[in-house]
Amino acid sequence: MRLLNKDLRLQDVTLIYVILLAALVVLLVAPYHASSPFSSFPTLSPSPDGSSRPSLSYHVPLDPAGQLELCWNISYSKQEVYMELRVKELPYGLLLGMSDRGEPTNADLVLLWNDGHKSYFGDAWSDDEGRVTLDSQQDYELLDARNTPEGFSVLFRRSFSTCDPHDYIIEEGTVHLIYSILDQPIRSLHQLNVSRLHPGVQRILLLRPDTPNPSLPQDVRSLEVLAPNVVIPDQETTYWCYMYQLPPNMPKNHIVMYEAVVSSGNEAMVHHMEVFECSPRMDFVPEYSGSCDSKMKPAKLNACRHVLAAWALGAEPFYYPSDAGLPLGGEGSSRFLRLEVHYHNPLHISGRRDSSGIRLWFTPSLRRFDAGIMELGLVYTPVMAIPPQQHSFQLTGYCTAECTHTALPPEGIHIFASQLHTHLAGQSVRTVLVRGGKEVEVVQEDKHFSTHYQIIRILRKMVTVLPGDVLLTKCTYNTEDRVKVTVGGFGIMEEMCVNYVHYYPRTQLELCKSHVDQDYLQRFFSIINRFHGGEGCSCSQTTVEDQFSSVIWDSFSARVLDSLYTTSLISMHCNQSTAELFPGSWEKQKIPEVLAELQPSMRACEPSQAGPQNRPTEVQPQHSG
Amino acid sequence: MRLLNKDLRLQDVTLIYVILLAALVVLLVAPYHASSPFSSFPTLSPSPDGSSRPSLSYHVPLDPAGQLELCWNISYSKQEVYMELRVKELPYGLLLGMSDRGEPTNADLVLLWNDGHKSYFGDAWSDDEGRVTLDSQQDYELLDARNTPEGFSVLFRRSFSTCDPHDYIIEEGTVHLIYSILDQPIRSLHQLNVSRLHPGVQRILLLRPDTPNPSLPQDVRSLEVLAPNVVIPDQETTYWCYMYQLPPNMPKNHIVMYEAVVSSGNEAMVHHMEVFECSPRMDFVPEYSGSCDSKMKPAKLNACRHVLAAWALGAEPFYYPSDAGLPLGGEGSSRFLRLEVHYHNPLHISGRRDSSGIRLWFTPSLRRFDAGIMELGLVYTPVMAIPPQQHSFQLTGYCTAECTHTALPPEGIHIFASQLHTHLAGQSVRTVLVRGGKEVEVVQEDKHFSTHYQIIRILRKMVTVLPGDVLLTKCTYNTEDRVKVTVGGFGIMEEMCVNYVHYYPRTQLELCKSHVDQDYLQRFFSIINRFHGGEGCSCSQTTVEDQFSSVIWDSFSARVLDSLYTTSLISMHCNQSTAELFPGSWEKQKIPEVLAELQPSMRACEPSQAGPQNRPTEVQPQHSG
């Protein structure tokens, strides 16, 4: 049987099995959407278990109306992604793209389109202004296109990296997908402008760890932290807060897994959810179910900030390593949990009810180790600032050898998950382990980080941190749209650079962060004002924010501030969970030296790396007899 | 016939032809060196033309005694290099390596060795201290090993880049080879330490352009600029100067090609040669043949600095493009040429006579265009300085859009060759073409540049420069061994950053170079001294050298100087061949903006990129009947 006018070279066993199974029972069913040029394609019948979909491991709704869904699988051995787009109605084609931050320009595109007569599939790109050009090298390979009982499905694959300079490189971390359904015939791709299509944007983690999940213990029990019967407000963005109480005197258990519970039909509107534990020092927190931004929200809820669980659209269940669990209940913990649900309702649908939340799976049979969460990066302080008009300005937070030497056990700790955090200007975050002056391992890196997509990510490989190791957390910011300096702080227009690392065995080290030494910063203000003809006022009554605001921010002052941050002395916060510093001297410390940086494992591209073909594939319905 | 206990997978037609031809006539000849474990290998008989060597295009002697020779071929389509090592005597094996700058540590090694019983071939690397470890991935593939009438030969191949982090990446530009003949059995590679072997170093251009040379005109004539009958001094390094006179009233000709003439037997001692034209303003230059550093050398020879031809060990004949030639004779040129020969005589051989030089091929039938040479980079001035203790400090010289707009013809110019130049601290040089704010093409890049290996290199692809284009020449310096600042200038301990580009059609633009604006540099001195607690003296009577010397050079001041150089205003030298500036305003110009840098064309490596095998190859003599 020929699926299409191309050889099927897919070797993934599961996929082949399911596709062959489906193909064997394929029937010449009447077109589902008689009006579409794609209606002449064969229809896939439901398979015996009632599902007509091949078993792709991951899926995420793309649009808020739930018209378009992406399913995918990863092959690390072949460095390839298999993707299937499922659409309920397909008028004249569809577009999926990947770009640096979800913009319609400079995007890597895969297109299925009809020109009024024929249908095509191809690899293309959009330029600085959104204009579309076919790639000279076609790197998306079409595997199947057909009707299904639910609509239309197109299956294709692509290598992580392709050697085509117009192609996006698929790496770990956030991928900004753009998508659009084409409702007009596309006579020529040259007429297509992605910017004018106003494509939707969806952020996902395309690459996932390929390690199997540990099995759950026999005596595992679950507890659902759900906000019951919420009427989703008919506004684009709502953060819903709901207070949940654990049973009184609950003994210590270990959370071993948690997963999202999303009310059926709301899959595209529930964007992300987090469960926070309140401060154990508060013996009472009032009940609440309402907007987190409401004036009616009790102030005490602000003391519920310790992350227990976090999920975002498309995330899989979160499993703890087999010998560790996160304490729930027992001494030193709080009975009060705050659930936060981010509803994304750009279509302003009103009256929709929702009871989504997070299901915690826990066991009373404590595992060998408690898991813990440690904060790496920069202290929240205005002394760490980003000049305006910067394309990419970097700030680095240090966890020094002195701190890990003081606070970690001799066997070290194992980081198994990580949650990156910046505010709006953050563009990328990278935490790297440095041992003996050399970068040895990346803990987590996201080159396309967005403050709108902060989920706890399981690492593909656990990272062991030994006493004396250094952890560098580097954040890159873009302030091209800002005219004023951005200082560190809690406000959304201020910035942070944080990585919450999840690790075991739990230690007393709660945070390991740094900031520039204040005296050196004062010397910076003094010389930079003098360079610009001022007097270098060092009037100590002004605040650091005012001092930063009075600097003339040209490229020289921005680069000198960068030089100061990367060469001067630092102040360390090496804090115990009691919020006290570990014993030691933490002021005016030297910045850890990095003599050798990790080089990405890359090979040069062959000069004429022509793909399987360099023209779009004509897509024809294949009728099997 | 089996050549070895490995499949021969070489597909290079020429090689296969020659190897098969040789193999067909192979004879069981008595071992050439009865004492060597390699003496049992078959001997290759001379082929009918008297040469027993396969036709590898390039070859270079490695050691000064001429014991060891490297021959090689390049396949750009397969991104592979075929290499053959030829050694006169092979006691217990040999080692060839590539490292960043010719150091025995952190080198990529290919080894042929005998452990007292068996012989092996393998891919290995040396660590920070020179200790040898076999690569887990074997990327050098053995193709043949055999005796020849001249000694022993081993043939192998390797990809340009291998994805093994211990392997050197073969790129255009200088490659520092290290080599050693092993005169003891190697019981275990772990006992081998490359540092203790004190390997020899040879610099070569491994990758060469693959474009065919243009054919020479019918009426081509030659002229040999040779230093006759020189007795090579018995010291390691001699620069020999010889004055040559063209016939009087020689009309204008075009040099279309030049090549080295090396006296037979001295191939390993003649390291490089250059021919300089004297200033046309001098109507007489005295005869001379002697050391360039001799006190007896007439001072007038210093006015002979205009490069006509340059060759270094291993360089091929230099062909001009088919529609251009370099003027020789005629109006505005000098009759006087200075030949400079660099003799490398580390073995202190005495009494060796030499008459090497350069043969110029020229034609009276002038080609359509005169070729010219233009100087890009930095002005020779102390205002451009490199702080001490720098691992890699960059200086950039600009040829601005204003200058190319003023001086270049509307059709632009074509750069076909380039000669990079720095002094001792220079480590890498890169000239890139910027158009519309974007890097569009690399003119030439050498990541392993050495002041000891400055040859004119034909570009693999000509680069067209249009009016309004920008040329950036960036030099990277290492001053880790220096305690004082290094300023720009003519002295060998001062620095330069220059690219002499060879182009056509010749224009009036003789040099297009820049330096930082002096006023901005004074502001730097003022603030940096203040930062370190001084008064920021701006006493104008001191020299720039003194001002640089009085700076406290810590990492902050080094980074601030870098910030100044990359952000402040510049002064342009946009000079005509009369040494006058073109009309225009060249002071306090903005540094050209580069909004997008060229990204190297790379693809991510597959996770388990195991080579053809991951153990060394046992090498056995194969006797054919």
pLDDT of residue A66: 85
pLDDT of residue B46: 53
Region B468-482: mean pLDDT is 98
pLDDT of residue B210: 87
Mean pLDDT of chain B: 88
SS3 B61: strand
Q: Are strands B119-126 and B132-134 parallel, antiparallel or unpaired?
A: antiparallel
Quote the CA–CA distance of A225 and A304 in Å, as a whole number.
15
**B438 contacts B595 by C-beta, under 8 angstroms:** yes
CA distance between the termini of chain B:
9
Quote the CA–CA distance of B312 and A364 in Å, as a whole number.
77
Looking at per-residue confidence, does B489 or B1 come out higher? B489
> Which of B77, B161, B567 has the CB atom closest to A603's CB atom?
B161
Quote the CA–CA distance of A93 and A618 in Å, as a whole number.
13
pLDDT of residue A608: 56
Confidence of residue B553 (pLDDT cuts 50, 70, 90): very high
**Tokens 């084409």 belong to residue:** A182
According to DSSP, the residues that pair with B175 across neighbouring strands are: B204
Which region, left, alpha or beta, applies to residue A344 given φ > 0 means left and ψ of -120 to 50 means alpha? beta
According to DSSP, the residues that pair with A531 across neighbouring strands are: none
Quote the CA–CA distance of B219 and B325 in Å, as a whole number.
14
Most A CBs within 10 A among B603, B605, B606, B609, hence the mutation to make, goes to: B603
Confidence of residue A601 (pLDDT cuts 50, 70, 90): confident
Digit-coded pLDDT (tens) for B66-91: 899 999 999 998 899 999 999 999 99
pLDDT of residue A313: 83
A7 has a pLDDT exceeding 50: no
Distances (CA, A) of B445 to A245, A605, B171, B460, B499: 65, 18, 9, 12, 10
Q: Which residues of A are catalytic?
A: 239, 421
pLDDT of residue B10: 42
Task: Give Cα A445 to chain centroid, integer Å.
Answer: 10
- With CA atoms as reference, the chain A residue closest to B168 would be A603
Quote the CA–CA distance of A354 and A227 in Å, as a whole number.
8
Q: Assess B45–A contact: CB distance below 8 Å, yes or no.
A: no
Distances (CA, A) of B394 to A132, A231, A423, B496, B516: 38, 60, 33, 12, 13
Secondary structure in 3-state letters for A546-606? HHHHHCCCCHHHHHHHHHHHHHCCEEEEEEECCCCECCCCCCCECCCCCCECCCCCEEECC
Check CB contact under 8 Å for A161 and B604.
yes
**Tokens 């690390």 belong to residue:** A76
Segment 335-364 of chain A within 8 Å of chain B by CB: none
Q: Where are the beta strands (DSSP E) in A436-523?
A: 438-446, 457-465, 470-477, 486-487, 498-504, 509-516
Region A542-570: mean pLDDT is 95
Quote the CA–CA distance of A565 and A545 in Å, as a whole number.
16
- Residue A185, judged by CB atoms within 10 A of its CB (0-12, 13-18, 19+), counts as middle
Q: Assess B526–A contact: CB distance below 8 Å, yes or no.
A: yes
Most A CBs within 10 A among B519, B523, B560, B609, hence the mutation to make, goes to: B560
Q: Assess B29–A contact: CB distance below 8 Å, yes or no.
A: no
Q: List CB contacts of A93: < 8 A, sequence separation 6 or more.
A: A111, A112, A113, A114, A119, A181, A182, A186
Digit-coded pLDDT (tens) for A208-222: 998 889 999 999 999
Digit-coded pLDDT (tens) for A112-138: 999 988 999 999 999 999 999 999 889
According to DSSP, the residues that pair with A241 across neighbouring strands are: A290, A340
- With CA atoms as reference, the chain A residue closest to B605 would be A602
A537 has a pLDDT exceeding 70: no
Quote the CA–CA distance of A474 and A427 in Å, as a whole number.
11
According to DSSP, the residues that pair with A156 across neighbouring strands are: A83, A142
Which region, left, alpha or beta, applies to residue B35 given φ > 0 means left and ψ of -120 to 50 means alpha? alpha
Mean pLDDT of chain A: 88
Longest CA–CA span in chain A (Å) reads 88
Among A257-261, B305-309, B331-335, the range with the most confident prediction by mean pLDDT is A257-261
Q: What percent of chain A has pLDDT over 70?
A: 90
Quote the CA–CA distance of A26 and A147 in Å, as a whole number.
11
Q: Assess A51–B contact: CB distance below 8 Å, yes or no.
A: no
SS3 A35: coil
Confidence of residue A622 (pLDDT cuts 50, 70, 90): low
Most A CBs within 10 A among B441, B517, B531, hence the mutation to make, goes to: B531
**Tokens 């649900």 belong to residue:** A341
Quote the CA–CA distance of A20 and A12 in Å, as a whole number.
12
Secondary structure in 3-state letters for B445-465? EECCCCCCCCCCEEEEEEEEE
Q: Are strands A357-363 and A221-226 parallel, antiparallel or unpaired?
A: antiparallel
Most A CBs within 10 A among B390, B393, B601, hence the mutation to make, goes to: B601
pLDDT of residue B35: 65
A579 has a pLDDT exceeding 80: no
Two structure tokens written together for A336:
């009060």
Q: Assess A440–B contact: CB distance below 8 Å, yes or no.
A: no
pLDDT of residue B539: 55
B471 has a pLDDT exceeding 70: yes
A585 has a pLDDT exceeding 70: yes
Region A75-85: mean pLDDT is 93
pLDDT of residue B237: 86
Q: Assess B392–A contact: CB distance below 8 Å, yes or no.
A: no
Look up B421 and say whether it is catalytic.
Answer: yes
Confidence of residue A623 (pLDDT cuts 50, 70, 90): low
Q: Which amino acid is at B444?
A: Q
Look up residue A108 and give its DSSP letter: E
Quote the CA–CA distance of A444 and A498 in Å, as a whole number.
12
pLDDT of residue A615: 81
Quote the CA–CA distance of A284 and A590 in Å, as a whole number.
44
Digit-coded pLDDT (tens) for B233-246: 999 889 999 999 99
SS3 B169: coil
Digit-coded pLDDT (tens) for A453-502: 888 899 999 999 999 999 999 999 999 999 999 999 988 789 999 999 99
pLDDT of residue A177: 97
pLDDT of residue A625: 37
Looking at per-residue confidence, does B473 or B312 come out higher? B473
Quote the CA–CA distance of B270 and B238 in Å, as a whole number.
10
pLDDT of residue B123: 95
For chain B, how are helix, strand and coil distributed in percent, rounded to 5?
10, 40, 50
pLDDT of residue B537: 56
Distances (CA, A) of B548 to A622, B521, B528: 77, 10, 11
A25 has a pLDDT exceeding 60: no
How is B467-503 classified by DSSP, letter by letter?
A: TT-EEEEEEEE--TT-SS-EEBSSSTTSB--EEEEEE
Check CB contact under 8 Å for B165 and A564.
no
**C-alpha distance from A137 to closest chain B C-alpha (Å):** 14
B7 has a pLDDT exceeding 50: no
**C-alpha distance from B207 to closest chain A C-alpha (Å):** 14
Single out the residue of B566, B431, B553, B564 nearest to residue B500, CA to CA: B431
A22 has a pLDDT exceeding 90: no
Q: Assess A17–B contact: CB distance below 8 Å, yes or no.
A: no
Quote the CA–CA distance of A561 and A257 in Å, as a whole number.
44
pLDDT of residue B1: 36
Q: Assess B294–A contact: CB distance below 8 Å, yes or no.
A: no
Quote the CA–CA distance of A83 and A99 in Å, as a whole number.
17
- With CA atoms as reference, the chain A residue closest to B557 would be A563
Q: Assess A564–B contact: CB distance below 8 Å, yes or no.
A: yes
**A306 contacts A277 by C-beta, under 8 angstroms:** yes
pLDDT of residue A8: 40
- With CA atoms as reference, the chain A residue closest to B529 would be A527
Which ranges of A108-265 does DSSP label H, i.e. alpha helix?
194-197
Q: Assess A531–B contact: CB distance below 8 Å, yes or no.
A: yes
Longest CA–CA span in chain B (Å) reads 88
pLDDT of residue A54: 55
Confidence of residue A283 (pLDDT cuts 50, 70, 90): confident
Domains of chain A, CATH where assigned = 13-208 (2.60.40), 221-369 (2.60.120.310), 372-576 (2.60.120.230)
Q: List CB contacts of A149: < 8 A, sequence separation 6 or more.
A: A32, A43, A44, A45, A46, A52
Q: List CB contacts of A261: < 8 A, sequence separation 6 or more.
A: A224, A226, A356, A357, A358, A359
Quote the CA–CA distance of B47 and B26 in Å, as a whole number.
10
pLDDT of residue B538: 53
Single out the residue of B393, B400, B313 nearest to residue B584, CA to CA: B400
Quote the CA–CA distance of A28 and A192 in Å, as a whole number.
34
**A242 contacts A278 by C-beta, under 8 angstroms:** no
**Tokens 């392709």 belong to residue:** A162
Check CB contact under 8 Å for A566 and B559.
yes
A614 has a pLDDT exceeding 80: no
- With CA atoms as reference, the chain A residue closest to B564 would be A556
pLDDT of residue A211: 86
pLDDT of residue B611: 46
**B147 contacts B137 by C-beta, under 8 angstroms:** no
According to DSSP, the residues that pair with B144 across neighbouring strands are: B155
**C-alpha distance from B36 to closest chain A C-alpha (Å):** 39
Q: Which amino acid is at A465?
A: V
Single out the residue of B259, B225, B258 nearest to residue B242, CA to CA: B225
Digit-coded pLDDT (tens) for A433-444: 999 999 999 999
**C-alpha distance from B389 to closest chain A C-alpha (Å):** 13
Check CB contact under 8 Å for A599 and B555.
no
pLDDT of residue A541: 61
- With CA atoms as reference, the chain B residue closest to A78 would be B606
Confidence of residue B5 (pLDDT cuts 50, 70, 90): very low
Q: Which amino acid is at A4?
A: L
**B110 contacts B617 by C-beta, under 8 angstroms:** no
Active-site annotation holder among B272, B421, B423, B573: B421
What ipTM does the predicted assembly reach? 0.81
